[in-house]
């Protein structure tokens, strides 16, 4: 990685503003944190700063408050969970900028940890407002970006602050860039990309950017319907992006020309509707009824995909194989998690819902790397620059 990290700057006695991604999922009824994986992911950087006697000031967004104060999206529960995880007191303030916050920061001792209030209570955060960025910068001597999940966003706390403070990467951000950068620059072969999710349009740029790097492309999920359609198959009521059919056909041709082994479903599960009462039926791809939806990959496809993955040395996965939220349509996705957990290979999971599925199955520690950023990981692997990374100091 060609950017400086927190290890490359002197932090002892310094006020360090750390942009973390504490946008944790909350229970809609109780407001309780349902997964603390994003907090855990940031611990290495926080512990490093505490050990090296920095004054640690953490800032994050939580949910989508739309630029106004939403009581159910305050950071206090996050600060309390962090305190429990790290085994240290964690202070909290009622805002993220202003005189009251500055007074608390002035009284911080070396090794203290402070969590600022939800950044997105201020609309200026997402607008990358320079005055808001200056107010944040006023709190600190050094800025550390450790929020890979928002590194693709040019916000005040990811980009704006870097105009006023020296900005470096945190240890999580460094880990993300090395893991994802490794599969672009030097993957072990055979290298497979396992792609699912609802739409082809979400993955087109990714497929185009990695086509000359992968040996195998395995496509499931809702996006498979568009590829099956262009090959002449009936796909029923399944979503087909008509404006992407020509592109899908071109991608199939490019795979053939580049010697990439493209694997589409051999069989699928179909259902009359996508709800918890629906009953699935396994059919071959030549026998999909015109009045049903594709809701999962079938057993022959699971067997085929597993057989291909077992021989790989690198696997990148993004997107479920079916409607995972409905238990009877989750078998294909779960099978992919289970096989990836057994591979003697570098296994990278590309964040978002895919990361949540791996976590739900308690398989995170069985993967080489599970990204904390869905949109950011896709943007990076599409070859796009990430504003939150570009803003950091070069080595």
Interval 159-208: pLDDT, tens? 999 999 999 999 999 999 999 999 999 999 999 999 999 888 888 899 99
Asked whether 65 and 75 are in contact (CB, 8 A), the reply is no
For domain 187-381, the question of CATH label 3.40.50.720 is answered with: no
User: Is residue 138 annotated as part of the catalytic site, yes or no?
Assistant: no
pLDDT of the residue at 201: 86
User: Is residue 236 annotated as part of the catalytic site, yes or no?
Assistant: no
pLDDT of the residue at 200: 84
Alpha-carbon distance 340 to 196, whole Å?
A: 15
Task: Summarize pLDDT for 346-393 with one digit per residue, the tens.
Answer: 999 997 889 999 999 999 999 999 999 988 999 999 999 999 999 999
Catalytic residue among 40, 199, 300, 313: 199
User: Is residue 375 annotated as part of the catalytic site, yes or no?
Assistant: yes
Q: Check whether the bond before 204 is cis (ω within 30° of 0).
A: no
pLDDT of 1 higher than 80: no
Catalytic residue among 352, 373, 374, 388: 352
pLDDT of the residue at 289: 96
pLDDT of the residue at 241: 87
Task: Summarize pLDDT for 7-46 with one digit per residue, the tens.
Answer: 999 999 999 999 999 999 999 889 899 999 999 999 999 9
User: Is residue 221 annotated as part of the catalytic site, yes or no?
Assistant: no
pLDDT of the residue at 198: 85
pLDDT of the residue at 183: 92
Class of domain 6-174: alpha beta
The domains of the chain are located at 6-174, 187-381
Query: How large is the average pLDDT for residues 137-142?
Result: 98
Task: Summarize pLDDT for 299-357 with one digit per residue, the tens.
Answer: 999 999 999 999 999 999 999 999 999 999 999 999 999 999 999 999 999 978 899 99
pLDDT of the residue at 135: 98
3 state SS for the chain: CCECEHHHCCCCCCEEEEECCCCCCECCCCCCECCCHHHHHHHHHHHHHHHCCCEEEEECCCCCCCCCCCHHHCCHHHHHHHHHHHCCCCEECCCCCCHHHHHHHHCCCCCCEEECCCHHHCHHHHCCCHHHHHHHHCCCCEEEECCHHHCCCCCCCCCHHHHCCCEEECHHHHHHHHHHHHHHHCCCCCEEEEECCCCCCCCHHHHHHHCCCCCEEEECCCCHHHHHHHCCCCCCCCCCCHHHHHHHHHHHHHHHHHCCEEECCCEEEEECCCCCCCCCEEEEHHHCCCCCEEEEECHHHHHHHHHHHHCCCEEEEECCCCCCCCHHHCHHHHHHHHHHCCCCCEEEECCHHHHHHHHHCCCHHHCCEECCCHHHHHHHHCCCCCHHHHCCCEC
Measured CA angle at 144 (ends 142, 146), to 5 deg: 170
Phi, psi of 336 (to 5 degrees): -70, -40
- One fold for 6-174 and 187-381: yes
Task: Summarize pLDDT for 212-249 with one digit per residue, the tens.
Answer: 999 999 999 999 999 999 999 999 999 998 888 898 99
115 pairs with which residues across the strands? 58, 92
pLDDT of the residue at 223: 92
Catalytic residue among 3, 15, 19, 38: 38
pLDDT of the residue at 351: 73
Instruction: Give the side-chain half-sphere CA count within 13 A for 361.
Output: 23
Task: Enter the pTM of the model.
Answer: 0.92
């Amino acid at each position: 990685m060609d950017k400086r990290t927190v290890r490359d700057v002197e932090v002892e006695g310094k006020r360090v503003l750390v942009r973390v991604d504490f946008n944790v999922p909350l229970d809609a009824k109780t407001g309780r944190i349902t997964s603390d994986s994003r907090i855990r992911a940031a611990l290495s950087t926080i512990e490093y700063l505490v050990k090296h006697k920095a004054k640690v000031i953490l800032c994050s967004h939580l949910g989508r408050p739309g630029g106004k104060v939403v009581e159910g999206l305050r950071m206090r529960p996050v600060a309390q969970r962090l305190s429990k995880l790290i085994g240290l007191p964690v202070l909290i303030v009622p805002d993220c900028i202003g005189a009251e916050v500055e007074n608390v920061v002035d009284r911080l001792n070396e090794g203290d940890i402070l969590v600022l209030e939800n950044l997105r209570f201020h609309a200026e955060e997402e607008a990358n407002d320079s005055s808001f960025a200056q107010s944040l910068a006023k709190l600190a001597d050094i800025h550390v970006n450790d929020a890979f999940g928002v590194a693709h966003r040019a916000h005040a706390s990811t980009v704006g602050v870097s105009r006023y403070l020296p900005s470096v990467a945190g240890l999580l951000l460094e880990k993300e860039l090395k893991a994802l950068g490794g599969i672009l620059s030097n993957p072990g072969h055979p290298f497979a990309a396992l792609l699912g999710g609802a739409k082809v349009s979400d993955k087109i740029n990714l497929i185009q950017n990695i086509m000359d790097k992968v040996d195998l492309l395995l496509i499931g999920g809702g996006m498979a319907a568009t590829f099956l359609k262009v090959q002449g198959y009936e796909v029923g009521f399944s979503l087909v992006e008509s404006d992407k059919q020509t592109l899908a056909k071109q991608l199939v041709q490019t795979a053939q020309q580049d010697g990439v082994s493209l694997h589409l479903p051999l069989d699928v599960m179909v259902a009359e509707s996508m709800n918890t009462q629906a009953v699935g039926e396994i059919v071959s791809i030549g026998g999909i009824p015109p009045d049903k939806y594709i809701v999962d990959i079938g057993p022959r496809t699971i067997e085929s995909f597993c057989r291909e993955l077992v021989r790989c040395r690198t696997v990148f996965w993004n997107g479920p194989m079916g409607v995972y939220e409905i238990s009877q349509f989750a078998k294909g996705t779960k099978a992919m998690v289970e096989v990836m957990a057994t591979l003697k290979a570098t296994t990278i999971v590309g964040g978002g819902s895919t990361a949540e599925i791996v976590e739900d199955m308690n398989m995170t520690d069985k993967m080489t790397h599970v990204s904390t950023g869905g949109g950011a990981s896709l943007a990076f692997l599409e070859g796009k620059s990430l504003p939150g990374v570009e803003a950091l100091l070069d080595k």
